[in-house]
Structure 1
Amino acid sequence: MKSFFKAALFLILSLVFFGCAKNEESPATGGTGVGGANNMVYYIDSARIYTTDANGANSKLVVEVTPVTNLNSYLGDACVSADGNKIYFFHFVSGSARTARIAVVNKDGTGLATVANLPTTLGTTYKSLKFLSSGKLVFVQNNFGANPQTASLETINTDGTGQTKLSNVPLGFTDLQVASDGIKFVITSTATIPQAFFGQVVNNNIGDPKSIPNSKGILSSKISKDGTKVIYAKLNGTTKIDIYSFTTATETEVLVKSVALPADIGQLPTWTVRLNWLEGSSKILLSFAKDSNFGTTTGYLNCVVMNADGSAEKSWKINNQDDWLPFTE
């Protein structure tokens, strides 16, 4: 994908090895429940999905949605079913013939299918796809072309039926994430100095979320499946990323880890910083790019996995793939 489209994907959605592309088949459905170990790391690269284990090893291509020659085709946010057997993701085609859909594929790359085609009215975008404990999918739909502009939290069945608005999303916020119950959430303000807020969806409204005071200057956040924890990342000077863990019930937090940046990163492209949970909420995955100029020969994606208390830190790099977007659940 051209640099423009890759950079646009990061901004709008702010998601080496060889394999065979899979053919599209009939619609599929996913499992229900909160169980299922999120012990695999998946990566979005343009219109491909790759995977590794939780230590960055055993890399392989899961699926290539479209030929690499189609530069207008790319994937958006993605999620994994509770049983770990299916991957759901947004697939977009830009240009004069725009399309948007939710698609699904089995974890082994078979059974690629369309769940639902989505409206492509000018200014309509989709992000924050999540698999709920009810067996439904939830996502944010932004209607930036409307007057006035609107945003909403939507749910849909995994067979593409029953799309329903769960809640309005107030303007001035971004990166809304919900827990598996579809109620607890974390959201980030779009202020000059962004800050994280947490709360619950009540009567089809996100209510009056509370701020996480120390989160000013936040780069990325992730709510746990059960909604009891929020991890977030902040830049510490120019050489470290601090990871905090916030407990929603007690409104207390701890500094989990100060992660030193590799010596060859002179200026961190902060918009590439992402957090994910691994193995339930027992491990944390931090990822960031070395270079924001996509396709450079010196760029790489740096991944750091650690226990939830910051111990047993381990890192790996994916060279020449600084634009990959990791996800785990």
Structure 2
Amino acid sequence: MKTITTLLKIFFAVITLSMVSCSSDDSGNSTGPINSGELKLIAIDTAKVNTISITGTNEQTILNKLVNSSSYIGDFCISPDGTKFIYVNQQMEGTVPNLVFVREIRKANIDGTGDVKLYEIPNPETHIGKIKYCSDGKIFFRTYTNFPDVTQNLHVMNADGTGLTNVSWGSDIIDASDDRAYYLVNTTAGAQILDADADNGLPGMYHTENLSSADDIGDGVFTNDGKYVVIPYKENSTIKAKVVDMATKASETLTLITGLGTGWTNYHLEMASDGKRGIVTITGSDYTKSKTYVFNRETGVVEVPFENNDENIFDVYVH
């Protein structure tokens, strides 16, 4: 099933974008040191943060938040300079009716040291969605509720957890550009990029990428420099990615994984800080353990995948 965001939600998203975004005269702003050497991979194993080599070996746990079977890391993001990461810590303890929920955003050094809490949700019905560590020292994140009312909100805070700004929100944000001038959403019309400064300071639609042939659309990402958006999607037995040039709005298609089985699949794509290399991790009913593929956006080369060490690794991140 495709990821669906209604046009009504897009309308509210457009109305509120200008309240939380920095204006930009163009779509490609450089940011932070770029890793042009060997890629550094981090695998999320339920509630553990593990470093692994480019071939999936030498796995080491650098942060362990496993308390019980309800512990897991909801989302994760490496800082643009590769020195720190933020993550969503999800915990549940106790028994009904005395359940205790912990939903918080935490920050640590890239080696797992210095783990500190930045933000905690006070309402047990509120969830934390997408998080983004931006190079200007701001952290962008989304919260939402499903009960008793469906609500969505956007937040921006400093990297130390201070200066929280709350803005009413109305759309599922998949990713934001580093300067928060552009936002990516999936809709019934395809993947849409919203521009926070499209018309004399007013937000509006920047580009729609038609993916009507897709069986489902995965979570796309902006490259670190903001020059491209990479959107993974499944088409028949193949995982592909649309690479959208933010300056020209032209796109090209990359074929990442072929020969999928007939069962369900789940896939997760991330781009390295150089904007050229990326990884896609896939799991599903035809996989005993997930597999991670390293690819090059410029050359189209996809390396032979490696199998992750644990069956609970679904998301691998890269710098």
Q: TM-score, normalised by structure 1?
A: 0.75
Q: Which has the higher contact order (CA 8 A, sep 6+)?
A: 2
Identity of aligned residues (%): 21
Amino acid paired to 1:286: V
Aligned length: 277
CA pair 320-110 structure 1, distance change in 2 beyond 3 A: closer
> Given that residues 168 and 206 in structure 1 are in contact (C-alpha distance below 8 angstroms), is that contact kept between their aligned partners in structure 2?
no
Partner of 1:43: 43
In 2, Cα distance between the equivalents of 1:204 and 1:267?
47
Partner of 2:152: 151
> Given that residues 224 and 273 in structure 2 are in contact (C-alpha distance below 8 angstroms), is that contact kept between their aligned partners in structure 1?
no
In 2, Cα distance between the equivalents of 1:314 and 1:117?
40
In 2, Cα distance between the equivalents of 1:258 and 1:115?
36
Query: Following TM superposition, by how much is the alpha carbon of 1:139 offset from its aligned partner in structure 2, in angstroms?
Result: 0.8
Partner of 2:3: none
Cα RMSD (Å) of the superposition? 2.6
Pairwise mapping of residues 1-329 of structure 1 onto structure 2 (< 5 A)?
Answer: 34-37=32-35, 39-67=39-67, 70-94=68-92, 96-122=99-125, 124-145=126-147, 147=149, 149-165=150-166, 168-171=168-171, 174-189=172-187, 191=188, 195-202=190-197, 207-208=204-205, 210-214=207-211, 217=214, 218-238=217-237, 240-261=238-259, 266-270=261-265, 272-291=266-285, 299-309=288-298, 310-311=300-301, 313-328=303-318
> Given that residues 196 and 215 in structure 1 are in contact (C-alpha distance below 8 angstroms), is that contact kept between their aligned partners in structure 2?
no
In 2, Cα distance between the equivalents of 1:44 and 1:120?
26
CA pair 163-216 structure 1, distance change in 2 beyond 3 A: farther
In 2, Cα distance between the equivalents of 1:215 and 1:40?
34
> Given that residues 87 and 106 in structure 1 are in contact (C-alpha distance below 8 angstroms), is that contact kept between their aligned partners in structure 2?
yes
Query: Following TM superposition, by how much is the alpha carbon of 1:198 offset from its aligned partner in structure 2, in angstroms?
Result: 0.5
In 2, Cα distance between the equivalents of 1:258 and 1:74?
28
**Deviations 1:293-314 (CA, angstroms, capped at 9, x unpaired):** xxxxx61111111111312523
In 2, Cα distance between the equivalents of 1:129 and 1:300?
26
Query: Following TM superposition, by how much is the alpha carbon of 1:279 offset from its aligned partner in structure 2, in angstroms?
Result: 4.3
Query: Following TM superposition, by how much is the alpha carbon of 1:277 offset from its aligned partner in structure 2, in angstroms?
Result: 0.5
In 2, Cα distance between the equivalents of 1:106 and 1:200?
32
Secondary structure in 1 aligned to 2:43? strand
CA pair 43-204 structure 1, distance change in 2 beyond 3 A: farther
Partner of 1:5: none
**Deviations 1:272-327 (CA, angstroms, capped at 9, x unpaired):** 211110242111211110438xxxxx611111111113125231111442543122
CA pair 319-52 structure 1, distance change in 2 beyond 3 A: closer
Secondary structure in 2 aligned to 1:50? strand
CA pair 223-47 structure 1, distance change in 2 beyond 3 A: same
CA pair 196-315 structure 1, distance change in 2 beyond 3 A: same
Partner of 2:22: none
**Deviations 1:90-127 (CA, angstroms, capped at 9, x unpaired):** 111135111211112222222222122222342x1112
CA pair 258-102 structure 1, distance change in 2 beyond 3 A: closer
> Given that residues 293 and 302 in structure 2 are in contact (C-alpha distance below 8 angstroms), is that contact kept between their aligned partners in structure 1?
no
In 1, Cα distance between the equivalents of 2:41 and 2:52?
5
Query: Following TM superposition, by how much is the alpha carbon of 1:207 offset from its aligned partner in structure 2, in angstroms?
Result: 3.4
Q: TM-score, normalised by structure 2?
A: 0.77
CA pair 300-236 structure 1, distance change in 2 beyond 3 A: same
> Given that residues 282 and 290 in structure 2 are in contact (C-alpha distance below 8 angstroms), is that contact kept between their aligned partners in structure 1?
yes
